[in-house]
Amino acid sequence: MIRAGHRPGIAVIAASVALLVCAFIAAVYALRVSGHLMPAAQPLTWLWAPIAFLLIGQTALYLGSRPRRATPGQRARLDRLKAAVLVPVYDEDPGYLRSGLDSLLAQTRRPDEVHVVDDGSGVDYTELRRWWLAAARAHRITTTWTRTPNRGKRHAQVTAAAHCPEADILVTVDSDATLAPDALGELLVPFADRRVQAVAGLALATNNRAGLLSRITDLWYVTMQLVDRSALSVLGSVLVSSGSLAAYRAPVLHENSDAYLGETFLGRPVTFSDDSLLTLYALTRGRVVQQTSAVVFSAMPERVGHHLRQYLRWMRGSTIRSLWRARYLPLTHPAYAAQLARWLQQAAYTVVLAWLAAAHVQENRPPSPLLLAVPLLLAASQTLRYLTVRRSDQCLASQFATWALTPLALAWSWIVLRPARWYATATCARTGWGTRTSGPEVVL
């Protein structure tokens, strides 16, 4: 079984700050020599200001974030909580599914219940089901394995939750998710704070060395969690809990099950973005945090087509969910401010880039190389966080090799993913799932 932990981050923090300072100096110098700090270009300067302010604030927050810890008294209370794991399954590779179920048996803090719902898969799980029921019984874990007609992941989760009405905590995992041995115990720690309604785990790619795409995806996804999500966690305002591993106080799902199953957008049923909707319900009740010491390994796309279809689904869900946050969250909630900041950041980046491109086309000269180096320095300062994660199946040299792909990951983000994001926003009314239409997408 893969194990994971965290390395001391002093050197990484120092390097991150150094790169941020270099990026700031490069930006100021490049803008000055190119004439963009002259009075005629003051509007551009005013657009840079909020970007810099948000970046500095985010950096201070994520560099100061730490996993929650429990006192012996709190740990005793946490041990009395009844934790039930919900496992929705649809056309999952049997190898990944067995690995995930096996990891639940090996938890240092075992779940009290595990409920598997096969959502009308075309894959035959007969042998796997027989093994699991016997194994769970041997480990004294209450379990069920239910097969239903295909109605979507949300229906599968609600069906699983109906089997454990007395659970205090509902843990949602994906069917390809393999938990580190201490993941469940670490995931429950933040619930020692009664204000916490949901906790997100830290998802790493199981297949992070399957190819160039999986390495880039792992670098991008882990960085996003350790930068953006860690910063919001300090404020108790994580906007999306990891679909691969997250925990909720039971009423978050039970009291919103009808709305959860019946969500529509522009008259169409929404089948994706289940994790962000549960997170929104939790935010309306209290705090949502991330516990980076609760590690889960998930299968990432290995083919470009799968990667883009998954990304479009995520971004369509993100568009819909951003509107719901603006509508349903209180104006005083930090998550409301975080959503507004995201909109501001996206708009500012777009306007600044368009302004610079137009200015350089008009002047018929290329932009300053220093100006082009700014996003690379900023990205490198953030992707350094990738090196703070320690995995038993990957040496530090291999992680450095992945980190060295930062320029390629940045280019992929700007050239491919950014246009895809705008396309997803424009087509957010397409609310179908989009993947696993012809069986498992990734095989162990």
In a domain, 185, yes or no: yes
In a domain, 399, yes or no: no
Q: How confident is the model at residue 81 (pLDDT cuts 50, 70, 90)?
A: very high
In a domain, 55, yes or no: no
CB-facing half-sphere around the CA of 300: CA atoms within 13 A:
24
Supply φ then ψ for residue 273, to 5 degrees. 55, 35
User: What is the predicted pLDDT for the residue at 40?
Assistant: 45
Please state the domain count of the chain: 1
Higher pLDDT, 365 or 287: 287
Q: Which amino acid is at 426?
A: A
Q: How confident is the model at residue 27 (pLDDT cuts 50, 70, 90)?
A: low
pLDDT at 372 over 80: no
DSSP conformation class of 333: S
pLDDT at 143 over 90: yes
pLDDT at 357 over 60: yes
pLDDT at 201 over 50: yes
pLDDT at 203 over 90: yes
Owning domain of residue 191: 72-334
Q: How confident is the model at residue 240 (pLDDT cuts 50, 70, 90)?
A: very high
Q: How confident is the model at residue 12 (pLDDT cuts 50, 70, 90)?
A: low
pLDDT at 364 over 80: no
User: What is the predicted pLDDT for the residue at 259?
Assistant: 95
Residue (of 272, 269, 252) closest to 88 by Cα position = 272
pLDDT at 35 over 60: no
User: What is the predicted pLDDT for the residue at 113?
Assistant: 98
355-363 mean pLDDT:
65
Q: Please state the pTM of the whole predicted model.
A: 0.89
In a domain, 172, yes or no: yes
Cβ atoms of residues 154 and 274 within 8 Å: yes
In a domain, 306, yes or no: yes
In a domain, 346, yes or no: no
In a domain, 360, yes or no: no
Cβ atoms of residues 117 and 162 within 8 Å: no
Per-residue pLDDT reduced to its tens digit, 301-336: 899 999 999 999 999 999 999 999 999 999 999 999
pLDDT at 101 over 90: yes
In a domain, 52, yes or no: no
Cβ-in-10-Å burial (0-12, 13-18, 19+) of 129 comes to: middle
pLDDT at 436 over 80: no
CATH number, domain of 113, equals: 3.90.550.10
